[in-house]
Amino acid sequence: MANRYVILPAAPFLVLVAAMCFSAAVTDSEPSSSEGIQQALAALSSGQAERAERIAAKVAAGEAEGAWRAWLIVASARHRLDRYASAQKAYRQFLSLCRSPAERVYVMEQIDRCRLASAEPAGAVVVSEQLSPRRRAKLSTVDNRRFTESSEHFVVRARNSDLARLIVKQAEIALGRICRIILSGQDYPHSVSIYVWSNVAEYRKHAVSAPEWSGGSFSLRQDDNGQIIRRIDLTQLGGDGLFDAAMLDRVLPHEMCHLVLAEFFGDAPCPLALNEGLAMLAEARVDNSRVLLTGAALAGGGKIPLRKLLRMDRCDADNAAVFYAESFSLTAYLHKRMTPGQFGEMLAHIKTGCPLDEAVQRALYVPGNETFGKRLSAAWEAEALRQWQFLQALD
């Protein structure tokens, strides 16, 4: 019984799936299932998830010894296509015959990921889309007095009682999302003060740290008694004098994520691209313009190569849009391809000073060599281009 070795240079994330599909059960004596599995893996590694699913489903339905392992490719392909319910079914098919403890842990983590992804329908959290014109008008009013609303993790102060209630609820939802992404689902054991200022002038006057261009910011500082003060400042009204719904969906989760990250990393150096990428990932919805801009940049219009992206500690007007778009694309790619456990491990390695590519390689337990960074870069770029082409096709 000789195992086959599978070499998939462009996709380190597939190494584990490939190894699991080619463990002892699939041998030279079973050419039909192993050839099919090899073809399906090749399709998956080149981004052809639909094709991979078709080939693997055919193999899995067959009688050949070890054919059941193809369920893992079916599941991975469906997972990549965001078909979470049917992906879970395929993972369970694999699990029903798998006896390896390590493989079972991996597959159960994937099932968890599918469950989490499907449990958070966009409409449930993109609250601005659910606000009626009447409610928006109400949220645009500024009262003379300040209202305070509290929850488990937040104390919100705003000069609009409805807004204070809305923010305290959305803040808890956003924090739940951030804890799932960064803290591997652990609870956040702190309290954060959120101040909502009526307009930009008020915000700039009162916010602890208010960069020129921002309508929201966070701060983490020690008071005179040595107590850590966690704070977020937001702006209620936009330049048009109306309620700015972006503060709920975008600014609030974005600044909250920076706050959680600031404490999580402490003095450890976290690449700015990852920090901003995570903050964008925490926002309530995916901004497709970032996906389109990344694709256009990678296809030849002023791309920032991965190596450079990870070294940048600031950006300027010339490259800010591409920097933010690529940072989001890269972080979303890593988050989607890794299990929550692996993603958490990657962050933990970065916290100890590991460069990002080495942290990914360690979290995935794949052998380290100097080509890993290049392969990671190629795999991310291929996926970003695939997404770009997909969005363009829908246009």
Q: What is the binding site for Zn ion (CB under 5 A)? A: 276, 279
Contact assessment for residue 43 and residue 23, using Cβ atoms and an 8 Å cutoff: no
Which residue's entry shows tokens 């462009």? 10
Q: How far is the CB of 320 from Zn ion (least distance, A)?
A: 11
Tell me how far, at minimum, the Cβ of 26 lies from Zn ion, in Å: 46
Nearer CB in complex with Zn ion: 59/259: 259
Kindly state the smallest distance separating residue 257's Cβ from Zn ion, in Å. 8
Nearer to Zn ion, 279 or 291 (CB): 279
Smallest separation (angstroms) from Zn ion to the CB of 267: 19
Task: Centre a 10 Å sphere on the Cβ of residue 369 and count the other Cβ atoms it contains.
Answer: 10
**Smallest distance, Å, CB 214 to Zn ion?**
9
Select 56 or 282, whichever has its Cβ closest to Zn ion: 282
Looking up tokens 């099919």 gives 36
Residue 146 beta carbon to Zn ion: minimum distance, rounded to whole angstroms: 27
Nearer to Zn ion, 276 or 345 (CB): 276
**Of all residues in this chain, which one has the CB nearest to Zn ion in the complex?**
279
Among 91, 94, 82, which Cα is nearest to 111's? Answer: 91
Smaller CB separation from Zn ion, 276 or 381: 276
Cα separation of 11 and 377, whole Å? 10
Alpha-carbon distance 335 to 317, whole Å? 28
- Residue of 100, 102, 60 whose CA lies nearest to 78: 60
Per-residue b or e along 6-32, where b marks 16 or more CB atoms closer than 10 Å to that residue's CB: bebebbbbbbbbbebbbeebbbeebee
Task: Kindly tell me which of 113 and 258 has the beta carbon lying closer to Zn ion.
Answer: 258
Q: Which lies closer to Zn ion via its Cβ, residue 249 or residue 276? A: 276
Residue 62 identity: G
Backbone phi, psi, residue 147, to 5°: -105, 145
* SS3 of 27-38: CCCCHHHHHHHH
Measured over the CA atoms of residue 313, residue 249, residue 246 and residue 257, the dihedral's sign is negative
Task: Kindly calculate the radius of gyration of the chain based on its CA atoms and give it in whole angstroms.
Answer: 23
Residue 133: CB minimum distance to Zn ion, A: 30
Closest distance of CB 262 from Zn ion, Å = 11
**Is the dihedral angle over the CA atoms 325, 328, 331, 335 positive or is it negative?**
negative
Phi/psi of residue 157, each to 5°? -120, 125
Which residue number, 276 or 357, has a Cβ lying nearer to Zn ion? 276
Distance CA 154, CA 172 (A): 8
